[in-house]
Amino acid sequence: MSFDVQKIREDFPILHRQVNGYPLVYLDNAATSQKPQAVIDCIVDYYSLYNANIHRGVHTLSQEATDAYEKARRKIQQHFHIALPEEVIFTSGTTHGINLVANGFASILKKGDEVLVSALEHHSNIVPWQMLCERTGASLKVIPMNESGELRMDHYDTLLTPKTQLVFVNHVSNALGTINPIEEIIEKAHAMNAAVLIDGAQSCAHIRPDLQKLNVDFYVTSAHKMCGPTGVGMLYGKKEWLEKLPPYQGGGEMIKEVTFEKTTYAELPHKFEAGTPNICGGIAFGAAIDYLNEIGFETIANYEDSLLIYATQRLLEIEGLKIYGTSKNKTAVISFNLEGIHPYDVGTIVDKLGIAVRTGHHCAQPIMDFYNIPGTVRASFSFYNTKEEVDRLTEAVQRAKSMLS
């Protein structure tokens, strides 16, 4: 099926607005994606037609909401090729999922154990493990990166030892777009009997991972970077691991029986879903998955690759512009700086021209420290962006250079 980007853009109401008197060019998709009308309608329908709490009522609205919520769980299961629906835990997002696992491993790790993270991680996949190591006495080791923004896999082989209990790596770097070799990372970790968590926040809008084929122990992602709403995400965990970990929070829904003497916990997935969840968000997450699959992930990847190639060529026409993260295997993210100009200043000027980019360290300060820079300008593309928007970005960055040099 041919890809008609103009037709796709009609699905996104926000793309028709103006910013500072210019048509919006939205290039901050790595921070959050825009939402198609199908997802917006799903949210409106829930609150207009069957808003009710789930799993607790015999009345019609509660049953309708419960059915829609659990149907969304099954959509997520099928999309990620997960063996069992109870291995899908609804969370508030990727950070929640990571902290849930880290909290659980606090009862498993001991002094002398080692955990590995990569130098390419978002702060959300660094800080929880630092906190875990402080609580347990385990040691945190870092897989280094090279100038191209790729992991040093030779160092990974050296860092992996019988002491390694856990390995945590993002699937795609939010700051550089690098796609990490997670298949190799998982296989080698398992050879040392270490568990693996993959942070999929940046990958799942571009790649459809097969979690059974990957044989990963835990995988986390957020809906809002997949054209879904904010405040909802997914933790996948192998059933045997989820049964080993203690509950993250106590409250309603996650219990089987409560007395003042003792509480027994509910079966999976409810053991990890205390309290009233983001019901509407979960249902809309399912709608977003339907929308993306209707377009097709191969179609999305091919189109975004063409945008990445074109945008890289155009931006490199600007003298003094340097791109950080030049891995051959990356998603449609370009982090760059203009020589002698602070990225914040560039971002401010291009915003005045209606173009939304992200500036700063992108919650990945160790990467910026590696390059010895304060941050970058990051343009991150989605399948609803166009080459004409790339041209506008290039012209705006050139104008910023002229004004600030």
Assess whether 332 and 255 both reside in one domain: no
pLDDT tens per residue, range 4-29: 999 999 999 999 999 999 999 999 99
- The predicted-structure confidence for 122-171, as pLDDT tens digits, reads as follows 999 899 999 999 999 999 999 999 999 999 999 999 999 999 999 999 99
Count of structural domains within the chain: 2
63 and 189 both lie in a single domain: yes
Indicate whether 287 and 325 sit together in one domain: no
pLDDT at 253: 62
Domain end marker among 293, 311, 342 = 293
pLDDT(256) > 90: no
If asked whether residues 280 and 324 sit together in one domain, one would say no
State how far the Cα of 373 lies from the Cα of 343, in Å rounded to an integer. 10
Confidence bin at 56 (pLDDT 50/70/90)? confident
Regarding whether 51 and 16 lie in a shared domain, the answer is no
Place of tokens 């602070």: 342
In tens, the pLDDT along 303-328 reads 999 999 999 999 999 999 999 999 99
Indicate if 337 and 379 belong to the same structural domain.
yes
93 in Cβ contact with 224 (< 8 Å): yes
191 with 214, same domain: the answer is: yes
Rounded distance, CA 169 to CA 197, Å? 7
| Each residue's pLDDT tens digit, 326-339 | 999 999 999 999 99
Tell me if 170 is assigned to some domain.
yes
CA gap 353, 294 in Å, rounded? 33
**Given this model, what pLDDT does residue 356 score?**
98
Q: Which of 262, 293, 324 is the last residue of a domain?
A: 293
Catalytic residue list contains 133: no
Half-sphere exposure of 395 (CA within 13 A, CB side): 11
Same domain, 184 and 239: yes
Contacts of 377 (CB under 8 A, 6+ apart): 335, 336, 337, 338, 343, 346, 347, 350, 357, 358, 359, 397
Res 251: pLDDT = 66
Residue 35 resides in a domain:
no
Does one domain contain both 74 and 17? no
Query: Are 190 and 241 spatial neighbours (Cβ–Cβ below 8 Å)?
Result: no
Query: What is the residue type of 328?
Result: K
Same domain, 73 and 211: yes
Mean pLDDT along residues 254-272 = 70
Q: Is the dihedral of CA 101, 102, 106, 108 positive or negative?
A: positive
The domain boundary, picked from 259, 276, 293, lies at 293
Does 1 have pLDDT greater than 60? no
- Within a domain: residue 383? yes
What pLDDT is recorded for position 259?
59
Contact 115, 241 (CB under 8 A): no
Whether 102 and 238 share a structural domain: yes
Residue the block writes with tokens 């991972």: 209
pLDDT confidence tier of residue 41, bands split at 50, 70 and 90: very high
CATH number of the domain within which 314 lies:
3.90.1150.10
Residue 123 lies in a domain: yes
Phi, psi of 100 (to 5 degrees): -60, -45
Task: Please identify which of the residues 42, 204, 227, 363 carries the catalytic annotation.
Answer: 363
Mean pLDDT of the chain: 95
Mean pLDDT of 177-205: 98
Residues spanned by the domain of 82: 40-293
Asked whether residue 72 falls in the same domain as residue 168, the answer is yes
Residue 274 has pLDDT above 90, yes or no: no
Residues 6+ apart with CB under 8 A from 339: 320, 321, 322
What end-to-end distance do the CA atoms of the chain give, in Å? 46
